[in-house]
Amino acid sequence: MLIDFFLHLKASKLPVSTKEFLVLLEALREHVVEHSLDDFYVLSRATLIKDETHFDKFDRAFGEYFKGVEALPGMDVLIPEDWLRDAVKKHLTDAERAKLEKYGWDKLMETLKERLAEQKERHSGGSKWIGTGGTSPFGHGGTHPEGIRFGGKSEHRSAVKVWAKREFRNLDDNVELGTRNIKIALRRLRHFARQGAADELDLAGTIAGTARNAGWLDLHMRPERHNAVKVLLFLDIGGSMDDHIRVCEELFSACRSEFKHLEHYYFHNCVYEYVWKDNARRHNNRIPLHDLLHKYGNDYKLIFVGDATMSPYEILQPGGSIEYNNSEPGATWLRRLTDTWPHAIWLNPEPEQSWPYRQTISMIHNLMGGRMFPLTLDGLARGMRLLSK
């Protein structure tokens, strides 16, 4: 029977695999849990779901599947939506709450069955019927200490069933570009070199040295291999980039751990004579771009991250910047940068299809000599391939 459950999870787009499902069946055969749905919930989650960001999705799928199986009497009666609509919220004091009678489980079910049979209309705020905001043990948003909740939000945290609570709601994310994927893509940009402290035995060197010494041991050590590629990262920040902040953060943290030589600077919309390292102090701690041009050698790879969406004046006109009065247009600065560091690409978080419709994107695209890539896995891989040439 659990095949259906498994397929239901699969259909809910949860990353479950056959192997994990077999483990779950094995666990059931070994009687890891007794006959309790709560325990089964925990067990199936531990076996099938390996990431807390999927817990919420799993809770929903589990709830959907086991809705009919919950063995609650009278559950085949559909409860109309509008009964449950949030309408009234009663705020009871603790004393009042304590006064409410605590039903036992059996009695709760019993009463529920009776109520379902009796009740025909939307109900709100009272203390007997199913509905919202009242003190009846049925419905939601209410304050009965031991109630059964039908949909809605848990506000007083005392409903008996767990998975409808959706405790892991805010952990769910639909990232397509996880940091792991980004790192794998960034790995294309590798250039191994041996530098630094010699702490690895150079076997070939030792053999050759020992042979030359007529058998007297001559140890040779060499430094470990490192990724020696050097990267300058220029990040557009603020304004229209706010929509893409998460993907940029991910890219940034992936770059951080992948490249040993990574320098990052921020700019706004387009590069002019100043960039900055710390957004909180962008107006006081500005760094003249001229200094950077002289500081980093031309073996650095230059990566811009920005949506290139701005006013055309910001690229073409002196004084077009929205930050300050710039004496030279952005295009000049951009050209200066790409001249100094010829290995340059521009990563754009905007979808590639929309590029032709934005004037400034095509302008930057041309200024970069066509080396603009979308900030997707594929785009990243293409960009890295170009940079490593």
User: Where does this chain bind other proteins (CB under 8 A)?
Assistant: 15, 17, 19-20, 23, 26-27, 30, 32-33, 39, 42-43, 45-47, 49-52, 55, 167-168, 178-180, 183, 201, 203, 206, 216-217, 219, 257
Backbone angles phi, psi at 23, to 5 degrees: -60, -40
Residue 181's Cβ-side half-sphere holds a number of Cα atoms within 13 Å equal to 13
* Interstrand relation of 192-201 and 274-276 (parallel, antiparallel or unpaired): unpaired
* Closer to other proteins by Cβ: residue 101 or 173: 173
CA distance 73 to 138: 14
CB of 7 to other proteins, least distance (A): 18
CA distance 156 to 52: 24
CA distance 366 to 350: 17
Q: How many CB atoms lie within 10 A of CB 14?
A: 18
CB of 230 to other proteins, least distance (A): 20
* Closer to other proteins by Cβ: residue 158 or 317: 158
* Interstrand relation of 274-276 and 286-288 (parallel, antiparallel or unpaired): antiparallel
Straight-line distance from the first to the last Cα atom of the chain, in angstroms, rounded to the nearest whole number: 55
* Closer to other proteins by Cβ: residue 44 or 321: 44
* Closer to other proteins by Cβ: residue 246 or 295: 246
* Closer to other proteins by Cβ: residue 30 or 278: 30
CB of 208 to other proteins, least distance (A): 14
CB of 134 to other proteins, least distance (A): 25
* Closer to other proteins by Cβ: residue 47 or 360: 47
Backbone angles phi, psi at 262, to 5 degrees: -130, 125
CB of 45 to other proteins, least distance (A): 8
* Closer to other proteins by Cβ: residue 122 or 220: 220
CB of 201 to other proteins, least distance (A): 6
CB of 24 to other proteins, least distance (A): 9
Comparing C-alpha atoms, which of 235, 262, 229 is closest to residue 388?
A: 229
13: left (phi over 0), alpha (psi -120 to 50) or beta: left
